[in-house]
Amino acid sequence: MTNEQRELSVVELFKETYSRLGKRHSALEVNFPHMFSTEIADDSDWHRTRKGIMLYSASNLFSLNGKGWALAVGDRTSGYPAEGYDGDILALEFSLDGKSP
């Protein structure tokens, strides 16, 4: 590895992808007043609930090849059962119906 190269963690790769796609496609960044979440793991049973959650605080909205996209980087909650995950990148296609993002 040269001085110009360095290793990226998966989360750093997601954040860099999010940033570069946002800049390249003049994305509109939407900051959520309250984080939204997705369930990424569930180890619940009849007497307890144990869920792993991914949290999102913002999304880039942009158009790519005529399709609307929302892109967000997630941060996992701590502890079991989410500890097997570092983060994620969420990409959702949506219809623009003649509107620009």
In a domain, 4, yes or no: no
Q: How far apart are CA 22 and CA 8, in angstroms?
A: 19
Residue 1 lies in a domain: no
Q: Which pLDDT score is estimated for 3?
A: 58
Which residues of the chain, if any, have pLDDT below 70?
1-3, 96, 98-101
Q: Is residue 52 part of a domain?
A: yes
Determine, yes or no, domain membership for 41: yes
The alpha-carbon radius of gyration of the chain (Å, integer) is 17
* CA max distance for the chain: 54
Which residues are registered as beta bridge partners of 62? Answer: 69
Please give the share of the chain, as a percent, with pLDDT higher than 90: 53
Per-residue tokens: 93: 């296609």
pLDDT, position 15 = 93
User: What pLDDT score was predicted for residue 98?
Assistant: 67
When divided into structural domains, the chain yields a total of 1
* Cα–Cα distance for residue pair 28/92, rounded to 1 Å: 15
Give the residue numbers spanning the domain of 44.
10-94
